[in-house]
């Protein structure tokens, strides 16, 4: 299986969901961004405003965002999967989209080795991009999202933004 062959079917986090669960059948026809993160990871926390800007630009155009909270190596499992704590954090960060509390198995299944990581799927749920690190947000992810949203909206008969 190549790096872009991972199907978007592994949405069953050990720790549960915050802001409503997601089922794969709900995602067909819309581009999907999986965002792997950890609040204790300084790299993903320091640049959160860039991620939020991306959400503000693309969610109104149909992008479905799912954040996956991944524990750091050695982080106590109970803390990592504490949905009450993560729900409070998600509210503080302004996350209104679904957030999965992962025990690390989702990250492993999707080949994520660090945070932040972004996996982008098209409306047919075919992975188009897997990137890690904040630098990829502006240089790779945002331009591809613009292209993908434009392509998805024109193929569905809508007017491209």
User: Which region among 47-51, 65-69, 115-119 has the lowest average model confidence (pLDDT)?
Assistant: 47-51
Q: Is pLDDT at 51 greater than 80 in this prediction?
A: yes
Domain range annotation of the chain: 17-155
What pLDDT digit, counting tens, does each position of 90-117 carry?
888 888 999 998 888 888 888 898 888 9
d(CA 119, CA 142) in angstroms, rounded, equals 12
**What kind of architecture, by CATH, is found in domain 17-155?**
3-Layer(aba) Sandwich (3.40)
What integer best gives the mean pLDDT of the chain?
A: 81
Q: How many CB atoms lie within 10 A of CB 157?
A: 6
- Tell the burial category of 37 from Cβ atoms under 10 Å away from its Cβ (0-12, 13-18, 19+): buried
The whole-number pLDDT of residue 30 equals 87
What pLDDT digit, counting tens, does each position of 118-138 carry?
999 998 888 999 988 877 878
């Amino acid at each position: 299986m190549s790096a872009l062959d991972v199907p978007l079917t592994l949405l069953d986090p050990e720790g549960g969901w915050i802001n409503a669960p997601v089922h794969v059948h709900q995602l067909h026809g819309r581009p999907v961004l999986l965002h792997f993160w950890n609040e204790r990871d300084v790299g993903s926390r320091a640049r959160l405003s860039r991620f939020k800007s991306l959400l503000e630009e693309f969610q109104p155009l149909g992008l479905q965002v799912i954040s996956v909270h991944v524990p750091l190596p050695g982080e106590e499992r109970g803390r990592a999967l504490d949905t009450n704590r993560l729900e409070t954090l998600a509210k503080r960060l302004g996350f209104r989209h679904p957030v999965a509390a992962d025990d690390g198995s989702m990250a492993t299944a999707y080949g994520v080795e660090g945070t932040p990581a972004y996996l982008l799927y098209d409306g047919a749920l075919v992975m188009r991009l897997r990137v890690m690190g904040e630098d990829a947000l502006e240089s790779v992810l945002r331009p591809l999202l613009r292209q993908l949203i434009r392509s998805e909206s024109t193929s569905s008969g809508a007017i491209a933004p």
